[in-house]
Amino acid sequence: MKRYPMFMCLQNRPCLVVGGGKVALRKAESLLQSGAQLKIIAPQLDHELADLLNQYPHQATWQAREFQDQDIAGHYLIIAATNQRAVNARVAELADQQQIPVNVVDNQAACSFILPSVVDRSPVMIAVSTGGASPVLARQLRMKLETMIPSSCGQLAAITEEYRDQVKQRFADPEQRKQFWEQTLRGPFVELVYAGNSQAARQLLDEMLTQPSRVSTVGEVYLVGAGPGDPDLLTFRALRLMQQADVMVYDRLVAKSILDMASQTAERIYVGKEKANHAVPQEGINALLVRLAKQGKRVLRLKGGDPFIFGRGGEEIETLAENGIPFQVVPGITAASGCASYAGIPLTHRDYAQSCTFATGHLKNGTIDLDWEKLAQPRQTVVFYMGLTGIEVISRELIKHGTPSELPAALIEQGTTRNQRVHIGTLASLPELVKQRSVRAPTLTIVGEVVKLHEKLQWYQPERHVAASEFSRNLEPQE
């Protein structure tokens, strides 16, 4: 280990930055955020650095001149950030003589300390360093950590700090305290904080300390949107919850590549639904979620797209709420947004469409009795979910209610996946297009002038390493 890792307290400590450019700006910003009393010496200041200093009138000063040897004295930490190597070297030499920690930008050999790449979840701080060998690698590692560590991790640390004394009074034995915190930081308390419900988290901690026998053993349900198909479109929170679930209840439209990202130890229950063939009726799914949570399990309810857009997520959490089951909802990229983006079709465009309407291709009673007059209004984009079976009705009724038959329309089959196919036609030609090209579900239908932009804006060219039949198998329940 060539460098000793440490975190310094700079609160109200006098620190010096020599230089006034873009590099000095980055260093000054982090020093000010750390509470340092900052002095900057430079003949001129970058305008962004000047704006920054104006935000800290009682914490930062600027001396508009060249660096002089006597400027070193009295500082706790120094950073040399000029574009003159001789000046930087002189600053480092003088600082070293007076045993003041110094960092010289782009000169590792002259540094008595180096600045790591930092993940800031104050008060949680994670620093990544390669000892100056590869700053780019350090930044890449930090970026990976950013995706793994929830943004509210700092709030979690702050709350646990609040309760340190209470826990110490409750458990005199250090080993008991350690066990309490290990159990607490693996349980529902953490998810309450991450979900933004700090009040409920504190109430739970109070109960665990005063009446541990009364703490509920009920689990929790995570209603997670898996997006339209591409695993890269999952949210950070979705990935985290997928990794910690005890059981996963998933739909037909969740591809195997996404299922594989969930915890490998989680029990998997398939409840997929397709037209006239429901593996488990919706009422049965609702009851299943309640039953699993009452067994104390963390239940991942994984749904294609977004749970609240034609995903019946509202029905499921209504049942959970009636039964007192804790739950949280993680939005997903809905099919309309994801598939349209991957097809190069903006859902709104100031030259073509000033509004966008989402509609379902079949209602709960199996009909397609929609508000056709509203859907037939001009200068809008209409997106139909689950509309493939009723495409003839959709085409006929829109034309009947005034939509031009030649209006551009698109069918996006297996959108955002490597097997995506985009079929362009008109409103009148949609039914025949489905037959001619053997279009299969899952397919999204977009009707509107914006479809004209597909030819110009299409950017996603899937390589299709996987055959369409294999993708279809991925959507079926796994043995």
- C-alpha pair distances (Å), 151 with each of 31, 187, 194, 442: 22, 18, 8, 34
Q: What are the tokens at 441?
A: 């579900």
Q: What are the tokens at 272?
A: 């997929």
Q: Is 304 annotated as ligand-binding? A: yes
DSSP string across 270-295:
E--EETTEESS-HHHHHHHHHHHHHT
The contacts of residue 158 (CB under 8 Å, 6+ apart) are: 123
Q: Which residue has the tokens 């793994």?
A: 148
The contacts of residue 129 (CB under 8 Å, 6+ apart) are: 3, 5, 114, 116, 117, 138
Q: Is 368 annotated as ligand-binding? A: no
Q: Are 75 and 14 in contact (CB under 8 A)?
A: yes
Q: Is 309 annotated as ligand-binding? A: yes
| pLDDT at site 183 | 81
The contacts of residue 12 (CB under 8 Å, 6+ apart) are: 35, 36, 37
Distance CA 479, CA 34 (A): 54
* Domain architecture of the chain: domains with CATH: 14-115 (3.40.50.720), 153-214 (no CATH), 220-333 (3.40.1010.10), 337-457 (3.30.950.10)
443-447: strand order across its sheet: 355-360, 380-385, 443-447, 408-413, 421-426
The residue ranges of the chain whose pLDDT is under 70 are 213-216, 273-279, 363-366, 463-479
Distance CA 255, CA 37 (A): 54
Name the 3-class secondary structure at 399: helix
Q: Is 44 annotated as ligand-binding? A: yes
**Among all residues, which ones are annotated catalytic?**
251, 273
Q: Is 228 annotated as ligand-binding? A: yes
Q: Is 386 annotated as ligand-binding? A: yes
| pLDDT at site 24 | 96
398-449 pLDDT, tens digit each:
999 999 999 999 999 999 999 999 999 999 999 999 999 999 999 999 999 9
Amino acid (1-letter code) at residue 177: R
Q: Is 361 annotated as ligand-binding? A: no
Q: Is 445 annotated as ligand-binding? A: no
- C-alpha pair distances (Å), 214 with each of 152, 211, 289, 336: 27, 6, 23, 45
How many alpha carbons lie under 13 Å from residue 384 in its C-beta half-sphere? 32
- For the stretch 297-319, what's the b/e string if a residue is b when 16 or more beta carbons lie within 10 angstroms of its beta carbon? bbbbbbbbbbbbbbbebeebbeb
Name the 3-class secondary structure at 103: strand
Q: What are the tokens at 371?
A: 């508000």
Q: What are the tokens at 264?
A: 């490998």
Name the 3-class secondary structure at 175: helix
269 bridge partner residues = 249
Distance CA 430, CA 262 (A): 38
Q: Are 387 and 394 in contact (CB under 8 A)?
A: yes
Give the DSSP H or E segment for 82. Answer: none
Q: Name the pTM for this structure.
A: 0.74
Residue 118, number of CB atoms within 10 A of its CB: 16
Q: Is 46 annotated as ligand-binding? A: no
Q: Are 136 and 142 in contact (CB under 8 A)?
A: no
First to last CA, the chain: 49
| pLDDT at site 135 | 84
117-121 and 124-128 strand pairing: antiparallel
Q: Is 61 annotated as ligand-binding? A: no
